[in-house]
Amino acid sequence: MQAMQHQMMGYDRAITMFSPDGRLLQVEYAKKTVRQGSTAIGMVCKDGVLLVADKRIVDKLIIPESVEKIFEIDNHIMTTAAGILSDARVLVDRAQVKAQQHMVTYDGQIDTMTIVKDIAALKQICTQSGGLRPFGVSLLIAGIDPNGAKRLYETDPTGIYFEYKASVIGEGEPEIEEILVKEYRDDITIDEGLKLAIKAMSKVIELKPEENRVDAAFITVKDRKMTKMPKEKIIQALTQFKKK
């Protein structure tokens, strides 16, 4: 009822207008968009970092390989998103340019935190500037820093960011987060992390081994290079989980 009153009074018509109880309603709408987005999970593993995402292919005529849900920012940094993916691509393009500029200027790879801060700063500007709308997307950004540190960050539409050991965004976030809290371990490997992510996602969406619905990528501490998870490993993890 209160939210309806706010709408009738016009508090949700401008991003710069606070409601009487101190809320920016347009930002809250953007957060709801993220919660309706396809699921994405990130983990810091013993041997690297892992991202697993639901492609959510809604049309049988779509070529599954054309649906991109995990993006490479630099060799050692990758990201996935939940929400409006066209918004995500704008942020990914910006991050890729930032990484390239850093390489040209300093002759070295950029660290994950610098990328996260730049993306979060742009998101925050869009919560306080008239004529703009918030980015309707949350990002999980995973990378291996030049010093070998494993990093996983989450940014939301407000521009805030936190570092995580494991995190989830999109559909079914509360249920999956509960599973991660119970079953995630600091010494989990990338292969074990893939199985845990698929197990958690299956609580929210119906996964079939023959479908190309799950996408996954990882970066190992040893190679420090983004690698797409082989399709065979994903199918194997799906099949093993179904048997259990």
Instruction: List the chain pLDDT tens, one digit each, 244 residues.
Output: 455 555 546 777 778 888 888 888 899 999 999 999 999 999 999 999 999 999 988 788 888 888 899 999 999 999 999 999 999 999 999 999 999 999 999 999 999 999 999 999 999 999 998 888 999 999 999 999 999 999 999 999 999 999 999 999 999 999 999 999 999 999 999 999 999 999 999 888 888 766 788 999 999 999 999 999 998 999 888 887 665 5
**Dihedral sign from CA coordinates of 118, 224, 97, 15:** negative
Residue 40 · residue 54 · CB < 8 Å: yes
Residue 99 · residue 115 · CB < 8 Å: yes
Give domain limits for the chain: 36-243
What's the confidence (pLDDT) of residue 7? 54
Q: How far is it, in rounded angstroms, from Cα 45 to Cα 37?
A: 25
Q: How far is it, in rounded angstroms, from Cα 94 to Cα 228?
A: 22
* Integer angstrom CA distances of residue 34 from 155, 213, 240: 11, 19, 30
**Superfamily of segment(s) 36-243:** Aminohydrolase, N-terminal nucleophile (Ntn) domain (3.60.20.10)
Q: Where are the beta strands (DSSP E) in the chain?
A: 40-45, 48-54, 70-74, 77-83, 137-144, 150-155, 161-163, 166-169, 214-220, 227-228
